C-alpha cells in the first residue's frame, strides 16, 4: 500500500513540474508577411500591432545597389533590418533601438531582406501591445 502511495505522489510531482515549466517553454509568435508593392509604385505602408515577445517579420526582395527607405511610426515598437541569408539571432544591418526609427541606404546584396518589428524586453515582459505604421520603399 505504501509503495502505491509513493508512486502516486511521485507522478503528481512530475505532472506539477511539467505544468509549471510548460508556459515558460512556449514559443513566441512570429508573424511573417511578404511585401509586394502595387503595380507602378515603389513603396507600401503597413499598419499593425506587436504584443509582448511576439514579432512581425516583413520579407522583401531587393537587388544590390537599390536604395531602401524604412520608417516606423510607433511610441514603443522598434525595427531591425537583416540582409539576405540572415535573420533574428544574427547581426542586423540596422538596429532600430540604437539608430532610430528611420533607415535609408544602398543595399549591399541581392536577395530577401527581413524587417523585424518588435518590442524591447521591458515592454514585452509587461505584455504591452504597441500599434505601429511601417513605411517601406525601394528605388
Q: pLDDT by residue (tens digit) across 24-56?
A: 445 689 999 999 999 999 999 999 999 999 999
Find out whether 104 and 68 touch, Cβ atoms under 8 Å.
Answer: yes
Q: Is the pLDDT of residue 21 over 60?
A: no
What share of residues in the chain are helix, strand, coil (percent, to 5)? 25, 45, 30
Domain 30-138 -> CATH class: mainly beta
pLDDT at 12 (0 to 100): 53
- Which candidate, 6, 69, 78, places its Cα nearest to that of 35? 69
pLDDT at 8 over 70: no
DSSP string, 35-98: --PPTT-SEEEEEEEEETT-EEEEEEEE-TT-EEEEEEE-SSEEEEEE-TT--BTBPPSEEHHH
Q: Pull the grid cell for residue 126.
A: 509587461
What is the per-residue pLDDT across 80-122, written as a single tens digit (0 to 9) for each?
Answer: 999 999 999 999 999 999 999 999 999 999 999 999 999 999 9
pLDDT value at 19 more than 50: no
CA torsion sign for 49, 92, 124, 57 is: positive
pLDDT of residue 1: 52
Spatial CA neighbour of 33 closest among 57, 67, 1: 57
Amino acid at each position: 500500500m505504501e509503495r502505491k502511495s509513493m508512486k502516486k505522489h511521485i507522478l503528481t510531482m512530475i505532472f506539477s513540474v511539467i505544468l509549471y515549466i510548460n508556459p515558460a517553454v512556449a514559443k513566441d509568435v512570429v508573424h511573417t508577411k511578404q511585401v509586394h508593392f502595387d503595380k507602378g509604385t515603389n513603396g507600401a505602408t503597413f499598419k499593425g500591432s506587436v504584443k509582448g515577445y511576439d514579432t512581425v517579420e516583413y520579407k522583401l526582395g531587393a537587388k544590390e545597389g537599390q536604395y531602401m527607405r524604412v520608417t516606423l511610426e510607433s511610441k514603443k515598437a522598434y525595427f531591425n533590418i537583416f540582409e539576405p541569408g540572415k535573420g533574428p539571432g544574427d547581426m542586423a544591418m540596422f538596429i532600430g533601438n540604437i539608430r532610430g526609427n528611420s533607415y535609408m541606404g544602398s543595399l549591399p546584396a541581392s536577395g530577401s531582406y527581413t524587417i523585424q518589428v518588435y518590442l524591447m524586453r521591458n515592454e514585452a515582459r509587461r505584455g504591452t501591445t504597441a500599434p505601429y505604421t511601417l513605411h517601406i520603399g525601394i528605388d
